[in-house]
Copies of this chain bind each other. A is one copy, B any other.
């Protein structure tokens, strides 16, 4: 039943973000999909590559990163289950960054050719997937704002708010808790600071009574205040409001 499992993840995701009619659902069901386990730290796609398939994250975390001068790594996005981080590869190549598994992850691959055929057959699905790439884009813009205008404490807080909010949508964060297997070095590379400073900012968030962060689990002790400190407004995530 692995095939069925991957399809159900994909259609569940699509139903969460849009109304999916029967014809479109059938098209999605007919996509050939291949599940795969990847160990933590493994690259899914690499800078400069041209790929012939997209991957959807089924379980775990992925992150997208670019290498700047001196080999400095900047993480530009986190990805949670349901995301198709290289969806853009359908229309843009070569890839200009790396996508790597943060911890052990489960992904599924969808070959470009049938994917494109499906999109050509359905303006509705084209809209849905195009929109997904645009939401991605909106997150990058918000990261630019974070790095450009928010201080180190707010940047870390903002990252936590974003993760919590996105994870709740896919049912992977409870009211006050979620798993996040990133080291402080990873956090530093995502928020534009050194690991030493990331450590101090995390401690400060703890001292303020806003979070607990033990090992891989983050607990939100006062989400409202955290959001306020972070200048977090979830509008940029373009979540579908349940109707």
Kindly supply a per-residue 1/0 record for chain A positions 124-168, scoring 1 wherever the CB is within 8 Å of any chain B CB and 0 otherwise. Answer: 001100110111111011111101111000100000000000000
Whole-angstrom distance between the Cβ of A78 and the nearest chain B Cβ: 12
Q: Which residue of B lies closest to A88 (CB)?
A: B134
Most buried by B among A88, A140, A231: A140
User: Does A68 have its Cβ within 8 Å of any Cβ on chain B?
Assistant: yes
Alpha-carbon gap, A150 to B74, bound state (A): 10
A1 on the B face (CB < 8 A)? no
Selecting from A89-97, A173-181, A197-205, the interface stretch reads A89-97
Contact assessment for B69 and A134 in the assembled complex, using a CB-CB cutoff below 8 Å: no
Number of copies: 2
User: Which positions 86-107 of chain A face chain B at CB distance < 8 Å?
Assistant: 88, 90-92, 94, 96-97
| Beta-carbon contacts under 8 Å, A13-66 to B | 64, 66
**CB within 8 Å for A96 and B144 given contacts A149-B68, A192-B149, A231-B68:** no
Report 10 cross-chain contacts, Cβ distance below 8 Å, ordered by A residue: A66-B142, A66-B145, A68-B231, A69-B150, A92-B238, A96-B141, A116-B123, A119-B123, A147-B148, A147-B192
A contact residues vs B (CB 8 Å cutoff) = 64, 66, 68-69, 72-74, 76, 88, 90-92, 94, 96-97, 116, 119-120, 123, 126-127, 130-131, 133-138, 140-145, 147-150, 154, 189, 191-192, 231, 235-236, 238
